[in-house]
Homo-oligomer: A and B are copies of this chain.
Amino acid sequence: MDGTPPDYECILRDAGLRITKPRRIILEILSETDDHPDAAEIFRRAVQRDARLSLATVYRTMKVLEESGAIQRHAFGDGPARFEQIGEDHHDHLIDVDTGDVIEFTSSRIEALQDEIAERLGYQIVHHKLELYGRKLRPQPQRRRKAKA
Chain A residues with a Cβ under 8 A of chain B: 75, 77-78, 81, 94, 96-97, 103, 105, 107, 109-110, 113-114, 117-119, 121-137, 139
The docked-state distance in angstroms from the alpha carbon of A132 to that of B124 is 9
CB <8 Å contact, A96 and B123 = yes
Contacts A94-B118, A129-B129: A135 and B107 contacting too (C-beta < 8 A)? no
Write out the residue numbers on chain B whose beta carbons fall within 8 Å of the beta carbon of A94: 117-118, 121, 123
State the oligomeric state as a number of copies.
2
CB <8 Å contact, B125 and A132 = yes
CB <8 Å contact, B113 and A137 = no
Q: What are 9 of the A-B contact pairs (CB < 8 Å)?
A: A96-B123, A103-B121, A105-B121, A124-B134, A126-B134, A127-B133, A128-B130, A128-B133, A130-B130
Option from B77, B103, B128 in Cβ contact (under 8 Å) with A131: B128
* Least CB distance, A149 to chain B, in whole angstroms: 18
Of all chain B residues, the one with the shortest Cβ separation from A110 is B113
CB <8 Å contact, A123 and B107 = no
Write out the residue numbers on chain B whose beta carbons fall within 8 Å of the beta carbon of A117: 94, 105, 107, 110, 132
CB <8 Å contact, A113 and B113 = yes
* Least CB distance, A35 to chain B, in whole angstroms: 16
The docked-state distance in angstroms from the alpha carbon of A114 to that of B93 is 11
